[in-house]
């Protein structure tokens, strides 16, 4: 089986390592300090679960009013296969992942390919807290207060060309800290993708925090995607490369099990997973296996905002 590699930009497009590693020390602190964002990732406390605050303005327009899932559940029951297949593995093992320094390269069909360090990304747009539903294909759901800003702010910065139709996201690989990379369940690195209009939608969040703090490692630190109307695996974690493409990318789960996982992966109670129904779900923290089952909402409850993007499409075919 062919191995996937991160897309490589031309040498002239790459910021020298010594420059972006020192970026944090060279930046003027004015704009960041004014919002309380200065050095949030360097300010983590020694204990794994004590994280620096990440102030943000609450965005009520896109937030659900449902009860928020307790932080203890959202940070200990996770899918992050780089650390293992069990839901408890990420919380148990992700603490050793190295997240500083961190850079994200944006390459492909863009006029201004760039490499952004984490402070560049933090300063790119005002932080917003949005309370989003998260629905996973296994039948469980949460409501989480995410902190970030629309991915469109970053894409506008690099100016996608007229050939830009899709975006691929690549998760970091750290063999020394990610024991799950030894597993053959997926072909690494983890890859996800969106159509351009999905990526530019104001609900699609480039995310740096949750519950008023920077992201814990197990939840995708230091930067991840959140696409709330799709199943949770579409929201790529610990992103290091964003590739803007003309061709639809093949995501990791599409490659591993194309009959079960399609490119779109929209939450759709009318389309069953081949091995179980998606019509009902259980909310984490409301009774475990005995939690009351609730009907799954079309597009995870965001139908009014996103359904127009799929008008005329056969959503059983484009699952």
Q: pLDDT (tens digit, 9 = 90+) per residue, 80-110?
A: 999 999 999 999 999 999 999 999 999 999 9
Q: How confident is the model at residue 290 (pLDDT cuts 50, 70, 90)?
A: confident
- Would 201 be classed as within a structural domain? yes
CA distance 113 to 14: 9
Give per-residue burial for 128-140: e unless 16+ CB within 10 Å, then b: bbbbbbbbbbbbb
Residue 44 domain flag: no
Tens digits of residue pLDDT in 180-195: 999 999 999 999 999 9
DSSP letters spanning 122-160: HTSS--EEEEEEEE-TTSEEEEEEEEEEEHHHHHHHH-B
Predicted confidence (pLDDT) per residue in 233-277, tens digit: 999 999 999 999 999 999 999 999 999 999 999 999 999 999 999
Rounded to two decimals, the pTM is 0.86
Average pLDDT over residues 163-175: 98
Average pLDDT of the chain? 88
What CATH code is carried by the domain that includes residue 211?
A: 3.90.420.10
Residue 134 lies in a domain: yes
Q: Identify the domain containing residue 292 by its residue range.
A: 54-310
Q: What token pair was written down for 313?
A: 């499409």
The beta strand positions in the chain, using DSSP E, are: 57-58, 103-108, 114-117, 128-135, 140-150, 166-171, 191-195, 205-210, 213-214, 224-226, 239-245, 280-283, 293-295
Domain contains 197: yes
Let me know if residue 14 belongs to a domain.
no
Residue 22 has pLDDT above 90, yes or no: no
Looking at the domain assignment, is residue 35 inside a domain?
A: no
Q: Is 28 within the bounds of a domain?
A: no
pLDDT for position 48? 45
In the structure, what pLDDT confidence band is assigned to residue 11 with cuts at 50, 70 and 90? very low
Over its C-alpha atoms, the chain yields an Rg (Å, rounded) of 19
pLDDT for residue 4 is more than 70: no
The predicted-structure confidence for 25-46, as pLDDT tens digits, reads as follows: 333 333 333 333 433 443 343 3
| Number of domains within the chain | 1
**Is residue 36 domain-resident?**
no
């Amino acid at each position: 089986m062919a191995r996937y590699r991160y897309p490589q930009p031309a040498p002239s497009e790459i910021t020298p390592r010594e420059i972006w590693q020192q970026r944090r020390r060279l930046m003027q602190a004015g704009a960041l300090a004014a919002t309380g964002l200065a050095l949030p990732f360097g300010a983590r406390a020694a204990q794994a679960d004590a994280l620096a605050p990440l102030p943000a303005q609450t965005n009520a327009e896109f937030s659900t009013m449902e009860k928020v899932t307790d932080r203890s559940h959202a940070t200990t029951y996770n899918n992050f296969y780089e650390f293992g297949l069990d839901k408890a593995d990420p919380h148990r093992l992700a603490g050793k992942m190295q997240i500083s320094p961190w850079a994200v390269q944006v390459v492909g069909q863009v006029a201004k390919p760039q490499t952004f360090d984490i402070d560049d990304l933090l300063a790119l747009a005002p932080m917003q807290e949005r309370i989003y539903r998260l629905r996973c294909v296994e039948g469980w759901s949460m409501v989480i207060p995410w902190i970030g800003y629309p991915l469109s702010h970053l894409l506008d910065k690099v100016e996608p060309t007229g050939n830009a139709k899709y975006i691929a996201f690549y998760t970091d690989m750290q063999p020394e800290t990610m024991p799950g990379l030894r597993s053959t369940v997926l072909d690494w690195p983890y890859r996800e993708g969106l159509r351009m209009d999905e990526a530019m939608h104001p609900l699609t969040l480039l995310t740096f925090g949750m519950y008023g703090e920077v992201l814990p490692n197990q939840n995708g630190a230091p930067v991840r995607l959140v696409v709330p109307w799709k199943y949770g695996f579409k929201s790529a974690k610990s992103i290091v490369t964003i590739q803007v493409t003309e061709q639809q990318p093949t995501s990791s789960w599409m490659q591993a099990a194309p009959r079960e996982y399609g490119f779109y992966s929209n939450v759709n109670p009318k389309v069953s997973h081949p091995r179980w129904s998606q019509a009902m779900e259980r909310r984490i923290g409301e009774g475990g296996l005995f939690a009351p089952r609730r009907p799954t909402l079309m597009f995870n409850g965001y139908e009014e905002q996103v359904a127009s993007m799929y008008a005329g499409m056969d959503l059983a075919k484009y699952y």
